[in-house]
Chain A
Amino acid sequence: MLGWELPPHNSGGLGTACLQLCKALSKRSGIDIEFIVPYQARHDDIDFMTVSPAIPQGVASIIRSGIAYDSYKYIREDGTEEWLNIYDQQALYEHAVASMVDHREFDLVHAHDWLTFRAAMRVREKRGVPVVLHVHSVEADRAGMIGGGNPLVREIEGLSMLLADRVIAVSQHTKNCIVREYGIPADKIEVVHNSIEPGDIVPSADENVYHYLEAMRAHGYRIVVNVGRLTVQKGLPNLLRAAKEVVYRAPKTLFLIVGSGEQYYELIELAADLGIGKNVLFTDFQRGKRLRDAFAAGDLFVMPSVSEPFGLTPLEAIGYGSTPALVSRQSGISEVLRNCLKVDFWDINEMTNQIVAVVQNDPLRDNLIANARLEYEKLSWEDASEKLESIYGQHLTGAAA
């Protein structure tokens, strides 16, 4: 398996998804996984597969070159950003993987996202094994624009998927996007929804760090939370425009925006321009307890993404915070989760309508979360691994099925 990151050395959801998927897959008999990453680091807690470095460099070098979500830049640990080129790193990985496979026996290559796609195609060229490409996001998604993004990345995505034996999309939304952007035949693309392992989500037991919000809640305020990168893909300007309408009707509503990104200052300014500066709290990029507690600080979690391949944060809100979710229909999670509110990302009126309904009606919030919890508890990566096993089987003869 070819991937770019694994926890704890991950910049976001891609690494987590890969790890959990592999864990579930490794429980199926006949499947042995070697996961090749572009850096050298310890993964002591991973005992269900072999993790191999393709390049003898530290994690820092990779992170310095950019992250999987953004072909132009990366976000440092302190949240600041730098515009760089990750293209060279990707090429380096391709060559390293190509020489690694000379000394290995394997039946199939499964590669995650564009950074590893060229490497996957090189392996197929050399060894003739089937190649499965797993698409966690598409360049146009990341750019927040149909037909948009880095042309070099688009070229890699389009050509590799055309040549691959099978393409896995993390949602129907992503599948539609692949067909739209690259004209890949729809019957070659299989939807395997991401999931979550509820057992891995442990809400913090001690006091919530957002004391101010807790206090305001006690005074009858209701809190709306968003957690994510502040980039065009995430659709936050629409949330703020809805927030203005919400605050006009329900003045005791506060919005907590957790994250950083190129829209950070723009959004702060927009909130001020809309006259709701004192109702919108920005926390910048957060990790650990501050991140987990943000989910718990809310009465409603909103994910207004313009285009979200899957979207794990609403499930984290349910898991960490027992906070119900309002998600855009342009997301993979909206295909999976029934007990949540849904809205088109552009429909500011309807977003307002639904947020007002929740902040003004505690029974709505309570019923949403009670039923969402029941749904959430049933989730696992089991279904995803079962589907993948069957897809592997279709491309292998006499091997694991």
Chain B
Amino acid sequence: MSSVPRKTPVTDKKAIVLYLHVHQPFRVRHYTVFDAGVDHTYFNAPYEDGASNERILRKVAEKSYLPTNARLLQMLHEHPQFKLSLSITGTVLEQLEAWAPEALHSFKELVKTGRVEIVAETYHHSLAFFYSREEFEAQVKMHADKVKKVFDVVPTAFRNTELCYNNDVAYWADKAGYKAILAEGWDPILGWRSPNYVYRPAYTKHIRLLMKNYRLSDDIAFRFGDRSSPAWPLTAEKFSRWLADNQEATNFDLFMDYETFGEHQWGDTGIFDFLAHLPKEWLANRHHTFMTVTEAAEAFEPKDEIDVQSTITWADTERDLSAWLGNSMQSNAIEALYSLRDQIIGTRDLAFIEDWRKLTASDHFYYMCTKYFNDGDIHAYFSPYNTPYEAYMNFMNAYHDLHFRLAEKGVSA
């Protein structure tokens, strides 16, 4: 891990810490019992199919990555104090390389400014931390290697998939040498405390914890285009004023999916104008600035210690793992998958291992979530399948094929 010299705390300034998460999984195609044992390609849905990774990636690149990066680059040029952090998974980098090299180039341009920090995570956007520590570390290493290769930077902050966080994750990240780790600023954890400070995770020595201010983040990510929201219409001026009026704060952690810009919130909501105007409005006050996550971790003294014994995430009203592991299809599928891990790694067949790893993406389990299926909400919107049952059937048939391939190699799992 490269060392960043510790800066003098800029205690007189308040910082916006904007962090965007960029990710696309390799969705499993309609993969049937007739494919298992016959056709070992799981991720190549036809272009016109809802689960076509290529089609989705091209669409998101056009609607979100390209227009957003163009604005971000302009903002970086116009405002020397503007900074942000990105986490960008290995699987989306692969897809950008294959289907939208111009969008990948635009991300590289951002990082080249030296004011865009890349945050570490698992290459495959997996929940490996909870199933195989060895696999987890392998995927974090794969991601770091990929980031080094593509952007020529070494991450100094860590985020676990879906912002899954507990004391163990923080302990691991501290040992691994990261300076910062990200988590949801969830009220039951914070209690009376504010998310707008830097904290120290329990049982750690050096690492700092930055916690998402979900109210402010969701005003942008979820409610921006919602005309029934009391905050509508949200302007950069209004938003900056809210933050400026808050005396009890050092850092406002605005964490969200990158695809908020142009995909979850369409361009016609005015989301791009909001983004483009934010630096100007916020920086009008000379006590205001922007920081990357590592900078914020180094700039401010921790306000308190945060103890998180059971896992929190940034999803749903429960903020737990139930969106991925809440029903028996999900737990059955993930346990079946990880039960093959050691044998598949043992084959040293890289293509085979990579197929298995692509299936570790948390997204596959999210698509099997039934808890809100009846209300047809966000889970249904973000799934390429009609039902959670379809997601499960496709996944399990792919699992059966992995099993078949192991048997072909004379390995019994």
Q: In the complex, are the beta carbons of A371 and B370 less than 8 A apart?
A: yes
Indicate if the CB atoms of B327 and A367 lie closer than 8 Å.
yes
Q: In whole angstroms, what is the CA distance A356 to B389 when docked?
A: 13
Provide the bound-state CA to CA distance between A364 and B388, in Å.
Answer: 10
User: Is A354 among interface residues, defined by CB-CB distance under 8 A?
Assistant: yes
Stretch from B50-58, B227-235, B300-308, B391-399 that touches the partner: B391-399
Q: Report the separation of the CA atoms of residues A388 and B134 in the bound assembly, to the nearest whole angstrom.
A: 63
- The chain B residue with its CB closest to the CB of A249 is B33
A353 within 8 Å of B by Cβ?
yes
As a 0/1 sequence over residues 367 to 398 of chain B, the CB contacts with chain A under 8 angstroms (1 = contact) are 00010011000000000001111001100110
Q: With A249-B33, A338-B387, A375-B374 as known contacts, state yes or no: A354 contacts B329, CB within 8 Å.
A: no
Contact of B374 among A249, A338, A341 (CB under 8 A): A338
List B contacts of A352 (CB < 8 A): 32-34
A375 nearest in chain B by CB position:
B374
Query: Is B328 at the interface (CB under 8 A from chain A)?
Result: yes
Across the interface, do B32 and A353 meet the contact criterion of CB distance under 8 Å?
A: yes
- For residue A368, CB closer than 8 A to chain B, the reply is yes
Q: Do A364 and B32 form a contact, CB below 8 Å, given A338-B373, A338-B374?
A: no
Q: How far is the CB of B357 from chain A (nearest CB, A)?
A: 23
| Cα(A342)–Cα(B387), bound, Å | 10
Tell me whether B310 is interfacial, beta carbon within 8 Å. no
Say whether A363 faces chain B, with CB atoms less than 8 Å apart: yes
Q: Which of B316-365 contact A (CB under 8 A)?
A: 327-329, 331-332
Docked pose: A375 CA to B370 CA in angstroms = 12
Within A337-363, the residues touching B (CB, 8 Å) are 338-339, 341-342, 349-350, 352-354, 356-357, 360-361, 363
- Distance (Å) between the CB of B345 and the closest chain A CB? 25
Interface membership of chain A positions 327-339, coded 1 if the CB is closer than 8 angstroms to chain B and 0 otherwise? 0000000000011
Judge whether A366 is part of the interface by a CB distance below 8 angstroms.
Answer: yes
Known contacts A363-B328, A367-B329; A353 and B33 CB within 8 A of each other: yes
Quick one: given A341-B389, A357-B33, A363-B328, are A371 and B396 in contact (CB under 8 Å)?
A: no
Closest to B393 in A: A357
Choice from A341, A366, A375 contacting B328 with Cβ under 8 Å: A366
A374, CB-defined interface residue at 8 Å: yes
B374 A374 Cβ-Cβ under 8 A: yes
B37 nearest CB neighbor, chain A only: A249
Q: Which of B32, B328, B373, B393 contacts A339 (CB 8 A)?
A: B373
B113-131 vs A, Cβ < 8 Å mask (1 yes, 0 no)? 0000000000000000000
Residue B392 contacts which of A338, A349, A361, A374 (CB distance < 8 angstroms)? A361
Evaluate contact between A361 and B396: CB separation under 8 angstroms: yes
Q: How far is the CA of A363 from the CA of B331 in the complex (A)?
A: 9
What separation, in Å, do the CA atoms of A368 and B388 have in the docked complex?
9
Please tell me the number of chain A residues within 8 Å of chain B, measured between CB atoms.
22
CA distance A364 to B396 in the complex (A): 10
Contact B374 A368 (CB under 8 A): no
Question: Which residues on B sit within 8 Å (CB–CB) of A353?
Answer: 32-34, 393, 397
Chain A: CB-nearest residue to B331: A363
CB atoms of A349 and B332 under 8 A apart: no
**B-chain residues with CB within 8 Å of residue A249 when the two chains form the complex:** 33
**Contact of A357 with B370 in the complex, beta carbons under 8 Å:** no
Q: Which residue from chain B places its CB closest to the CB of A368 in the assembled complex?
A: B389
User: In the assembly, what is the distance between CA of A232 and CA of B123, in Å?
Assistant: 53
B49 CB to nearest chain A CB (Å): 14
The distance in angstroms between the C-alpha atoms of A360 and B387, with both chains bound, is 19
CB distance from B394 to the nearest CB of A (A): 9
Distance in angstroms between the alpha carbons of A336 and B301 in the assembled complex: 57
Query: Measured between alpha carbons, how far is A352 from B33 in the docked complex, in Å?
Result: 8
Contact (A364, B373) CB under 8 Å given A349-B34, A352-B33:
no
Closest to A326 in B: B389
CB distance from B55 to the nearest CB of A (A): 22
A371 to B374, alpha carbons, bound, how many Å?
8
Cβ-neighbour of A354 out of B370, B373, B374, B393 (below 8 A): B393
B residues in contact with A368, CB < 8 Å: 389
Q: Which residues of A contact B389 (CB under 8 A)?
A: 339, 341, 364, 367-368
B373 CB contacts on chain A under 8 angstroms? 338-339, 371
Query: Across the two chains, which residue of chain A brings its CB closest to B34?
Result: A349
B263-289, CB < 8 A from A? none
Once the chains bind, are B32 and A361 in contact (CB under 8 Å)? no
A100 to B287, CA, bound (A): 90
**Chain B residues within 8 Å of A375, by CB:** 374
* Residues of chain B at the chain A interface (Cβ within 8 Å): 32-34, 327-329, 331-332, 370, 373-374, 386-389, 392-393, 396-397
27 A-B pairs with C-beta separation under 8 A: A338-B374, A338-B387, A339-B374, A341-B389, A342-B386, A349-B32, A349-B34, A353-B32, A353-B33, A356-B33, A357-B392, A357-B397, A361-B329, A361-B392, A363-B327, A363-B329, A363-B332, A363-B392, A364-B329, A364-B389, A364-B392, A364-B393, A366-B328, A367-B388, A367-B389, A374-B374, A375-B374
Further contacts, 16 of them, CB under 8 A, given A339-B370, A364-B329 = A249-B33, A338-B387, A339-B373, A339-B374, A339-B387, A353-B32, A353-B34, A357-B33, A357-B396, A361-B329, A361-B393, A363-B327, A363-B392, A366-B328, A367-B388, A371-B373
